[in-house]
Amino acid sequence: MRLLFVGLANLLLGVWTLLGLPFRLLASRNRPTYVRFRLSGELPYRQPRKARRFFSGSKPEPATVTSLVAFGESLKLLAQDPHVKGILLEIEGLELGSAKKDAVVKLLTDFRAAGKRVVGWAVSVDNLGYQILCAADEVLLAPAGRLELVGYAAEATAIGEGLARVGIQAHFVRRGDYKTAPELFTHAHVSDIQRQTIEGFLDERYADLIDSIARGRKRTPEEVRAIIDVGPYSAQRALAAGLVDGLCSEADLPARLDERRREEKDSDDAEEPIEPMASWLGARPFPPMKWRPVKRRPKLGLVVISGIIAPGKGSSGELGPKIAGSEAVVKALRAASRDKRAKAVVLYIDSPGGSALASELILEAVQRVARKKPVIAYVDQVCASGGYMAALGAKEIWSAPHAIVGSIGVFAGKFEASGLMDRLGIRRTLISRGENAGIFSTSRGFTPHERAALEAEVEETYQAFLAHVAKARGKTKEEIHTRAEGRVYSGTRALAAGLVDRAGSFEEVCRHALDLAKVPPGKFDVGLYATPDRGLSLLQILLSLSGAHLYALCPSAWSLMGGKAGRRFEG
């Protein structure tokens, strides 16, 4: 039956293509020499297939890049056309992690190696966007634009003294000096360990920024440091400093790129915008055909763990923080396991951890899938604490160089509001039966007996965490302990410490997972087993986390990324 439908679809596609041939021949006389692409927002690796929705709101601009894979395929086609001179790359409001930035830079580098030009243009661009522009042959800025090149900064916070002033005391038990998460609430000042952790990441990101600018603008590292130290830049200052090659309004871009249009500057033709990829495809006499394959392509399963891990169904983060609910993630993993078409699974993790119990439930689900088919965990931003625990169930863990990995540790505690209640004239009397019955009461701190019990539970959970890591990484608990106690690593340092297996890109991970499943090289489909999106109030989030009491969470790792890598870090 599939053979019949595929044959009919390909026949209709061929007829449609032949019918449009005369129109494409006419259009080919004026096919563009430069093709326009627009990078904006969060760029996915691959565009997920979604059902068509009518009246679903505004569509993105025609030139907007929808995924890294689609961008790469377009550049390969353009590189084969001798009529095409290059592309115009516009950057607007780009929010990418370091790994995706590196992927874009590689695509541009390969395109230039094929003899084509890349012209970058922006109105306002930050550190990350400028790193991408530095991979272009020519960098242009709008006359009223700005270059926010200032390096990286972090603001570590300690609110212990502030809480005490309003009558709230934080009581936490942690395992390891490097598990600094509770310090936000317990310390009056940022600790030296937290400062050193943040400085290590800033040093790596700053070095990467300097290297990108030095290579792209042909400057020495010392010159780049001096340039960054006097930023940010107006468009005029950026041009004077040699950071851009020219100032050009959007309306003047066609004339600047095209000699013919420059000569016809006063004509109406000079006002025509630079066409997007769709126009170039429509002007080819014989465009690339997307024939329906007789045999279905191999399928790779993709399961995403994004946000704070907590019990329950989770939320998409549209109305608050992203929550990776253990119930929803486990269901997605089960679906991936049952799907016979999915020969392998990539577990994409972007999480600072959360509930220790929920993280372990996800770990067990990953291990069950891994017993049936290859599972590779991949992190390009954050895979810390409980997030790293979940990754341990995979056959291999891959990481991007500047990702945040590790924070193997556990903490638990509560907030005591007795001082605040006294100031408000509120009197509470705790009446209990059982030595530890009031252990999580907010009306008083821990008794020595309660603290001893909590410390024992934290230690037990920490030892279990070490055992999981030791078994997955093929090391002893003692060896893992020297890398644990809350220590946080970049992807590069995690690889050297043996906490990840390989460094690579998302596409490399996908191909490797299929290789492990003995799937022949070639194109493949990615099936996303999505967790349900539902809004959660802040109260629901706090209640879902408060029920666990034991946390494998690394807030400092999450805030280092800030959701907008390449911009500002807040620790």
**Which residues are the active-site residues?**
179, 385
Local structure of residue 261 (DSSP, 8 states): H
If phi > 0 it is left, if psi is from -120 to 50 it is alpha, else beta; for residue 354 that is: left
Q: Which of 276, 282, 297, 270 is nearest to 510 (CA)?
A: 297
Pairing of β 396-399 and β 502-503: parallel
Helix (H) or strand (E) holding 512: helix 506-516
The single-letter code of the amino acid at 393 is G
The single-letter code of the amino acid at 321 is P
Contact 408, 469 (CB under 8 A): yes
Q: Which of 44, 101, 110, 45 is nearest to 507 (CA)?
A: 45
In three-state secondary structure terms, 561 is helix
In three-state secondary structure terms, 137 is coil
Name residue, tokens 């638990």. 412
Q: Which of 78, 135, 126 is nearest to 103 (CA)?
A: 135
Cα 492 to Cα 402: distance, rounded to the nearest angstrom: 7
Burial pattern 500-528, b for ≥16 Cβ within 10 A else e, equals: bbebbbbeebbbbbbebeebeeeebebbb
Contact 201, 490 (CB under 8 A): yes
Contact 119, 34 (CB under 8 A): yes
